[in-house]
A = this chain, B = another copy of it.
């Protein structure tokens, strides 16, 4: 794995920032977390990521496919069936995103307390 130290997400024009913007968002995180469990059908993905609309799910999956993080498997059946799966590249992203999700779950109690204290003080 070659690393390009020239690329810096903090630099405005660096292409790496477009990658950061794509992966550092809640829908991408949740989708990749679910896909980490294995190949998943569109319908099940939509059910697992509670609250996501079909439109947003489709769009996010398209973007992930375009970036080579997800592969799309279409079955010529009626009713149609489409399954999504992490690519090798996508699997390298699963760990970091899962860590973010786990951080959120593990520290929410503390965060909620902090919010209450902050809101009371003002």
- Minimum CB–CB distance for A50 against chain B, Å: 4
- Minimum CB–CB distance for A18 against chain B, Å: 8
Number of copies: 2
Contacts A65-B118, A66-B115, A104-B16 given; indicate if A30 touches B9 (C-beta within 8 A). Answer: yes
Q: Helix, strand, loop or mixed for chain A's interface?
A: helix
> Is A44 engaged at the interface, CB distance under 8 Å to the other chain?
no
- Interchain residue pairs with CB less than 8 A apart (7): A7-B108, A10-B49, A16-B104, A16-B108, A19-B104, A23-B100, A89-B110
Where the two chains meet, the residues of A that have a C-beta atom closer than 8 Å to any C-beta of B are 1-4, 7-12, 15-21, 23-26, 28-30, 33-34, 48-51, 65-68, 89, 92-93, 95-97, 99-101, 103-115, 117-119
Contact of A111 among B30, B33, B68, B113 (CB under 8 A): B68
- Minimum CB–CB distance for A71 against chain B, Å: 11
Cβ-defined contact, A103 with B23, below 8 A = yes
Cβ-defined contact, A108 with B4, below 8 A = yes
